[in-house]
Amino acid sequence: MSLLDSVLGQLGGNVDIAAIAQKVGIDPSLAQTAVAALGQAHPQDGDTVETAAAASGIDADTLNQVAGALGGSEGLGKVATMLQENPQILSTITGFLDKNGDGSAIDDVLGMAKGLFSKGE
């Protein structure tokens, strides 16, 4: 169970990060970041996936698959609402994912993603 699963579970959310990761074929840490990025981007102006991709560094195809696994726009809306009502979730996730302590989790997430894709080569 991921940190986001745990927090969303406590808040009444029905998001299973491990199941999303398995369905999309990505690492659960990357799925957690994708869900958080999509949740943050959903209420913003513009395309949710493009906004999340720009903020997280995760490719749009992966984010589209994660969004679909969440239940599309309705699921994203629920996640966005939970994140807006509980901003501590994002700081907790960012702190957990920021492995090198530079204040940004993007480089660490990209490193995870790169590691996933280079394992098959």
Dist. CA 52–CA 39, nearest whole Å: 8
pLDDT higher at 80 or 83: 80
Those residues whose C-beta lies under 8 Å from the C-beta of residue 3, and which sit 6 or more positions away, are 32, 92, 93, 96
Q: How confident is the model at residue 1 (pLDDT cuts 50, 70, 90)?
A: very low
The answer to whether residue 68 scores a pLDDT higher than 90 is yes
What's the pLDDT tens digit per position in 85-117?
Answer: 776 666 655 555 545 555 555 555 555 555 555
pLDDT of 19: 87
Better-predicted residue by pLDDT, 64 or 103:
64
Residue 93 CA, chain-centre distance (Å), reads 9
Other C-beta atoms closer than 10 Å to the C-beta of 46 total: 9
**In the chain, where does DSSP find H-type helix?**
3-10, 17-24, 28-41, 48-56, 60-70, 72-85, 88-97, 106-119
Q: Give the pLDDT confidence of 5-51 residue by residue, as tens digits.
A: 555 555 445 678 888 999 999 988 888 889 888 988 999 999 999 99
Say what the pLDDT of residue 108 is: 55
